[in-house]
Amino acid sequence: MNCFSLGTMKTVTRSYIKKRCNPLIKYIVEGGRPLFGEIHISGAKNAAVAIIPAALMVTGPCRIENVPQISDVTILLGVLQDLGASVRYLNPHTVEVDCTKLRNGRVPYESARQCRASYYMLGALLGRFGAADVALPGGCNFGGTRPIDQHLKGFKALGAQVDTQGGFVMAEAAGGRVKGTSIFLDKVSVGATINIMMAAALAEGMTVIENAAKEPHVVDLANFLNSMGANIMGAGTDVIKVRGVDSLRGGTYSIIPDQIEAGTYMAAVAACGGSVKLCNIIPKHMDCITAKLTEMGVEVQEVDDSLLVSRIGPLVRTNIKTMPYPGFPTDMQPQVAAALCLARGTSVITDNVWNSRFRYIDEFKRMGAQIQVDGNLAIIEGVERLTGAQLEACDLRAGAAMLIAALAAHGISEITNVQYIERGYEDVIGKLRSIGGSIRAVEVPEEEPLAVSSAG
Ligand code: EPZ
């Protein structure tokens, strides 16, 4: 049950968003059976949440295809509408955005609180108008801070005056337009790479971004901007060159399939056993995940733009070290941890990207998992079985990991705060049911206490 499943030609409205993103829902999962069937992978969330803000840089209609039906997308389309863009769905996965008449306005905290990626409006507005005023994103929900110092470093290097005041970031370029420059990022940062690339696309002159992130969604954004008339070279390497242009025209672009959604279902097969075909994949994007799951005893066959993922024999322990792409993605760490709880032997997970992304471990322990956490390290002793329990999702990927653990566990599990999961997974109930998962969504009775949700 996603936050919205718009029909054709329906305009996104804020009230529609509020009505449909209902935190008073929980999932009931009956686990303990293998998974068999076929799933179509949706457009990539982390590409969509960059491409939608980038559309505001374009004067003319942008037709964006393969848009995932997830609440982060709904929220960002709502922000564009609030700024005066016209937004209309041509079909459930194709949206036409026309920002010709868009005005530069303040992006409110309410949006930043619900969707962290609203901070991409900074780079887009700064590029188009030479000024931006955007609420700082909420604290991350995997514990610890999620700094944006590299984003601000980039904007300053592009000649913008940057102030953070009253929970907002205000940036203004001298002379009304950012100027090309060279930026060496202190840390490999997906968000900073994307935000700076957007601002630089309409800068005066050439910008060189060094130590850039290489994730597939960074490349997808560059390809989107280039299809609208930008001049970006080197995306996917650690040196991106952006020759600023005066304006971007409209066009059509299709978002890449979601590497992490696909990996999540692969981890579900690893944990539950069975055989599932994942359709609409870019196999190259899956290499790091495929290699690791193969070590764990999962069989992965590439067939054109699909993967056939099977696990018949026992799960085997392994060690995971998350790294920026093309290393093992941190966004797959919780999901693989769920499978490793059932692997024979001791596994060690080291998250080198986020230093405290293990809040979900306590929930797994309530299912019988044997896990110790020390900072950015988790040591997992595999057990014979997990048992169903009441679980509370604490962020998007942790929620997905709890779904996997619940599907593999014997007995019934209840998962609350599922709005986190629906931020990034389209029709997760329908897709899991189509491969034999026993899962349903129920209303949370009013008297049940609700955890406060915050964006991540
Ligand atoms: C993006 O977040 C993703 N979100 C995250 O996925 C993902 O975990 C992360 O990249 C790493 O791949 C989106 O794409 C919307 P970073 P982002 O900037 O851009 C440090 C999901 O589950 N850093 O690459 O916020 C930071 O603390 C989400 O889909 C700075 O120090 O991540 C971290 O240690 C969760 N200063 C590292 O860099 C900065 O200014 C990587 O962060 C920025 C980042």
pLDDT attached to residue 146: 82
pLDDT attached to residue 137: 81
Average pLDDT over residues 240-245: 98
pLDDT tens readout for residues 205-214: 999 999 999 9
153 CB within 6 A, ligand 1: no
Does the structure show a pLDDT above 80 at 143? no
Does the structure show a pLDDT above 70 at 148? yes
Q: What is the CA(326)–ligand 1 centre distance, in A?
A: 15
Does the structure show a pLDDT above 70 at 437? yes
Does the structure show a pLDDT above 60 at 17? no
Q: Are 45 and 68 in contact (CB under 8 A)?
A: yes
pLDDT attached to residue 111: 81
295 CB within 6 A, ligand 1: no
pLDDT attached to residue 140: 53
Q: What is the CA(324)–ligand 1 centre distance, in A?
A: 10
DSSP 280-302: S--HHHHHHHHHHHHHTT-EEEE
pLDDT attached to residue 449: 54
Does the structure show a pLDDT above 80 at 68? yes
Instruction: Answer with the residue of higher pLDDT: 277 or 147.
Output: 277
Q: What is the CA(260)–ligand 1 centre distance, in A?
A: 14
46 CB within 6 A, ligand 1: yes
User: How many CB atoms sit inside 10 A of residue 291's CB?
Assistant: 11
CA distance 314 to 325: 29
Report which protein residue has its CA nearest ligand 1's atom 43.
148
Confidence at 12, pLDDT banded by 50, 70, 90: low
CA distance 92 to 115: 21
pLDDT attached to residue 23: 58
CA distance 316 to 330: 20
Helices (H), 214-323: 216-227, 259-272, 283-295
Confidence at 4, pLDDT banded by 50, 70, 90: very low
User: pTM of the full predicted structure?
Assistant: 0.94
The pLDDT > 90 percentage for the chain reads 85
CA distance 31 to 29: 6
pLDDT attached to residue 454: 43
Q: What is the CA(310)–ligand 1 centre distance, in A?
A: 31
Q: Which of 3, 115, 140, 394 is catalytic?
A: 140
Does the structure show a pLDDT above 80 at 20? no
pLDDT tens readout for residues 25-43: 999 999 999 999 999 999 9
pLDDT tens readout for residues 79-122: 999 999 999 999 999 999 999 999 888 998 988 888 889 999 99
Average pLDDT over residues 159-171: 96
Q: Which residues of 207-234 are buried (b: 16+ CB within 10 A; e: fewer)?
A: bbbebbbbbbbbbbbbbbbbbbbbebeb
Does the structure show a pLDDT above 80 at 230? yes
190 CB within 6 A, ligand 1: yes
pLDDT tens readout for residues 352-372: 999 889 999 999 999 999 999
146 CB within 6 A, ligand 1: yes
CA distances to 96, 191, 225, 410 from 239, in Å: 32, 15, 17, 49
Q: What is the CA(270)–ligand 1 centre distance, in A?
A: 26
Instruction: Answer with the residue of higher pLDDT: 143 or 114.
Output: 114
User: Known catalytic residue: 272?
Assistant: no
Report which protein residue has its CA nearest ligand 1's atom 42.
189
Average pLDDT over residues 222-236: 98
Ligand 1: atom nearest CA of 396 is 22
